Chains A and B, each alone.
Chain A
Amino acid sequence: MSNVLAELSALEPFRAQVREWLADNLPADWRERMTGADEADHVVFQKAWFRKLMEPGYAAPHWPVEWGGSGMSFAQQIVLYEEIARAGAPRLILYFIALHHVPGTLLHWGTEEQRQRHLPAILAGDEIWCQGFSEPNAGSDLASLRTRAERRGDHFVVNGQKTWSSNAHLARYCLLLARTDPTAAKARGISYFILDLQTPGVTLRPIKQMTGASHFNEIFLDDVVIPAENLIGPEHGGWAVAQSTLSSERGLSVLELAERMREGFKLLIAAAKVPTRAGRLPLEDDEIRRRMVDVRTRIEALRLLVNNQLSAVLKGEAAGVEPSMIKLYYSDLLRDFTELGVSIGGIEAQFLQGVLMGGANETGYWMQDYLYSWAWTISGGSSEIQRNIIAERGLKLPREPQAA
């Protein structure tokens, strides 16, 4: 149908190579080991899997060769992420910020010293990073953040509070946004820093979620000193730097998630073949069957929306509002998918179980999956913000007037 398809077809030998490597190297018992695993074991396993993936160059396929990455073409990365997802391999969730946001930021805005200091360490598996963007009163409206960084000669002194920082309690460094010019208009007075989380004055408080897990953290910053050499990009120019951070993924993460969801559908089928307490099979229930068809069709629709965005990237076209459409579609679908799992599982799905650490968003522990799906309609730009973006930039609807 297109050059894109032809390009992917030409990569079939590479696909076979990746598939074979995964078959040989993915620990067969990893789900068993990571289900209900404690945090220390999870970190050890993530580091080991990261280093394993580095051997054939699969952990950092998008990094340039001169920085230790594989320098794979975008089409190769598509194939790689598809195969990793189809194999049901662990997600490198502890390394997400380090692998995507850090290079996307430092390679564009960072100094040579910053790159030399951090990029090799990341690929050695030694550095876990987190993000310090959101604040208690600045989530979707990120530009209203109030954490203050005052310049004092060769360093900044930072005071404020960050929140929703995933895996900060396991991280060494943080990509931090703070206000350096309180007199400037919202987005213009912000700067972007590398924060060493071991600096005196940094206090972390894990947030206990309703699922029972503690994935996110609050970060309290009290007179934290950050050397000026840790400023990324121009002083007061951090907003533009943050845009580079947030646009660094180009659709591959959601490709992986969509492909994992396809695989996860098999869990729904398996669950629907387990008799309920009343002795009925959910798979014989017409309403369950109707909802399964609905979810199954939407998974395919999601994949097509993702394909279309990836095609645009391959052709070098601007993404437009496609990422927002896909994020919205995915998070709505994930909620309905996992809710169906809860419906199928009945009360048996609602007892506390061990969580699969580093797994997909569909693990078969349906209540955990369902509750965690709610995070997806909020994080990374809430569904309401995505709808605003699509309405204004995609459908060209008039903006809602600013509040007085």
Chain B
Amino acid sequence: MAAITIENLGKTYAGGATAVTGIDLDIRDGEFVVLVGPSGCGKSTLLRMIAGLEEITEGTVRIGGREVNRLEPAERDIAMVFQNYALYPHMTVRQNLSYGLKNRRMARAEITRRVDEAARILEIGQYLDRRPRALSGGQRQRVAMGRAIVREPAAFLFDEPLSNLDAKLRVTMRGEIRALQRRLGTTSVYVTHDQLEAMTMADRLVVLRGGRIEQVGTPLDVYRNPVSTFVAQFIGSPSMNLLPGVIDGGTLRLGGARFAGTGAAGPVTVGIRAEDLTIARPDAEGAMAAQLLTVEELGSQRLGYFDIAGERVVAAFPAGQVLRTDMALTVSPARLHLFDTSGCRIAA
């Protein structure tokens, strides 16, 4: 059990390429933090620097108050779950689980106790004498989890552990990992590129972009108040609509409609979540003329794709909502997200 403190962390490769830079992050004891971002954003590098698999070129990492920059991975009191499980193929499940403990010269009775305990928690007891090859993807994932659990480490590090599983199993394992982590209360850092996984699992989200932290916050906070157009589009499905608008004399002009706007005059980018768009009468205030392009039927809801003043816009409606070719859509002014031309949020 430990907090992880990251200060001004940076990684520059020998060739001069920078993977991550200027990372400051406080992970509280017992917290489940998800690092999320598109590929190449440095999230895996950051995780591997915490693990000690990647050398730190700048800044410090503290685990439980102890600076670990110069420590070997095994000395950092962490356990890691890898994307491809990284189970030792020639060892049985039991040997896989106990290998790390054996290297630590733990007493044999204690090893057996911990392995049996982990096997019970993860329900892999009947596979203990099998080789990883004889297990399914989900079972291997459990074994990989088990290898982390038996260590009873200060922190779990997950590197996209579910990306090799099929969609259905992924949802199940997502819940299981989260339930397990709550039960054990172990600080966890979880890397994923899947925003849905990030949203559903995280206590706090860390959105990374180009090696820097773009935003840190609870999933809802990030969803409701994205600090930039990048975060706005990355978090949430379907992505937030971004439309060009102009603020002029306290009025926001957007798609042929006018809203009471604030802030400096000039062009802005307006973000609207799909579920915030509602159908309006064409002559109502704030109504934007919209031509229906296509409809996606999701069962629980209908997604309508519209053309509003030349921009493609998606709106979510309850199932069974009748959609016509020519309609008018509106949005509550409180639900508008305003970004300046560089993509940063304009404080409302």
Q: Do A and B interact with each other, yes or no?
A: no
Interface residues of B (CB under 8 A from A): none
